[in-house]
Structure 1
Amino acid sequence: MVLVSYPMSMLMLAVLAALVGGHISGPAVLWGALSGIGAALGVWWFYAALATGPISIVSPLTAILVAGVPVVAGMVMGDRPGLLALIGIAVALVAVAMVSRGVTDEDVTPHRFTKTVGWLTVGCGVAFGLSFVLIARTPTDAGLWPLVFARISATLLVMVAAVLLGDFVKPEPRTVKLALLIAVLDTVANVAMLAALHGAMLSLASVLISLYPAATVGLAMVVLKERVTRWQVVGMVLALAAVAAITLD
């Protein structure tokens, strides 16, 4: 999926960036490329952690780190949210952990939370979180070009990893179709993410972006008819409350 969707979204972003325009500068290239590396490493390590560790621990811990790292970075760099927004951030951190805790250890082949799994979990959470911080540092006059350089670096890293691990194989036609759809959605999401990070405080925009698991769970309920746990339902309600608190501040 990633081997097909990443290059396609890279091409789509390049076309959009050329149409929108923008100044390609050193910071746009540097911060964009580093953000892409962080996102690619995050995906790689997240899947590795899920494959060898307990999902019920790996998933919520990763979600908290993805949301928490940009919040801390934003505070350090000068963000000063209001009291209501701070409450919303705290609620959002709880919500994203509860929504992400969708599978219990009894539902899957039991895995131990080893030191390696722990490092992979922390690594992917920090890498994902830093990708938000880095892309937010790109200059606003660069337009969408930082996203292009982020996707270029991520695509190259994923391809190298696939070659080294022996996973560089020809995908099935159905996989290609789904990956193309994912590329379109990924492109739209990345453009919206950059606009949010450039238009609001990092600590607020990033934590709202990190609530995406709630949308995933909601769609799984409607489209795939999946059952959700009570914890996930509570988490989705808390996610809505967090969005309201942050946006109304």
Structure 2
Amino acid sequence: MTAILWALVSALGYGVSDFVGGIASRRVAALRVVLVSYPTALIILTVLAFCAGGELSGSAMLWGSLSGIGSALGIWWFYAALAAGPISIVSPLTAILVSGVPVIAGLALGDRPSALAVAGIGAALIAVVLVSRGVTDEDANPHRFTAKVAWLTVGSGVAFGLSLVLIAPAPADSGLWPLVFVRLAATGLVVVAAAFSGDLGTPDRRTLQLALLVGVLDVIANIAMLAALRGAMLSLAGVLISLYPAATVGLAIVVLKERVSRWQAVGMVLALAAVAMIALG
């Protein structure tokens, strides 16, 4: 039960973080937001890792670094999708992929899902079709679900899912050190990407504040994620963490007044239900 609660805390942290990060990415390039949030999270996690103790092993460094590469690619593409597309559609579709990758990995490692979990996977596939229904480039919404946004969403979901799979084997006695190397590797990759794309630069004061908040939320979500993965099966923890769109979509509807079609609304509800079914199964 404790692991389940940690997973839900992680989902809430990621959901709020994604919303704030998406708003910030509509003001400046997505990479500039991450250039602030990732180093912020790295500094906080390093301090906490020293305080918490744990063995700094080669295995912790390896798995943390590999997970960090997936995390960096995932957040870069995700923020780019949020900046160009509707948050209430991008976030749930990403979540389906994030939940699906750990399930597939769990199956490969010997997990056997129940009939309810299999039904949840089927529901998730239907949700993808429904949420994408009727979204065209001619939509009056300036933030449209275009082909580019779709590819960014898919890439982000797969990368995030792989980052969960790759951090799971980190030794349990390593404390928070795997998370330090997650953010260290991710920060390095983001800096290189920003340098090549010409996005190195400091955002304005308001955006900087949002990016710093993202970094703090990122720390909370990652610590809770690691605790959940250490206390539950990969397939179970992964899909519970993937419930984060509940917070992201709720904030998008309440704060941004985003509107979706009837079929898209049904698809989003089905997407969240699918994640829950997989988790309960």
Give the TM-score normalised by structure 1.
0.81
1:40-189 to structure 2, matched below 5 A, reads 40-46=72-78, 62-91=94-123, 94=126, 104-107=136-139, 108=142, 113=147, 123-189=155-221
Matched, 1:5 2:37: yes
Are the equivalent residues in 2 in contact too, given 1:132–1:206 (CA < 8 A)? yes
User: Which residue is 1:222 aligned to?
Assistant: 254
Amino acid across the alignment from 1:151: R
Matched, 1:27 2:27: no
Q: How high is the sequence identity, in percent, across the aligned residues?
A: 70
Q: Secondary structure of 2:56's match?
A: coil
Instruction: Between 118-127 and 77-86, report the one with greater CA deviation.
Output: 118-127
Cα 1:231/1:247, change in 2 over 3 Å: same
Amino acid across the alignment from 2:247: A
Are the equivalent residues in 2 in contact too, given 1:59–1:101 (CA < 8 A)? no
Are the equivalent residues in 1 in contact too, given 2:60–2:171 (CA < 8 A)? yes
Cα 1:15/1:130, change in 2 over 3 Å: same
1:227-238 to structure 2, matched below 5 A, reads 227-238=259-270
User: Which consecutive residues of structure 1, in runs of 5 or more, have no partner in the other structure?
Assistant: none
Cα 1:104/1:15, change in 2 over 3 Å: farther
- RMSD between superposed Cα atoms in Å: 3.6
Amino acid across the alignment from 2:46: A
State the Cα distance separating 1:131 from its structure 2 match. Answer: 0.7
Amino acid across the alignment from 1:39: S
Q: Secondary structure of 1:80's match?
A: coil
Are the equivalent residues in 2 in contact too, given 1:35–1:130 (CA < 8 A)? yes
Cα 1:43/1:248, change in 2 over 3 Å: closer
State the Cα distance separating 1:8 from its structure 2 match. Answer: 0.3
The number of equivalent residue pairs is 247
Cα 1:45/1:242, change in 2 over 3 Å: closer
State the Cα distance separating 1:240 from its structure 2 match. Answer: 5.4
Cα 1:197/1:237, change in 2 over 3 Å: same
Give the TM-score normalised by structure 2.
0.72
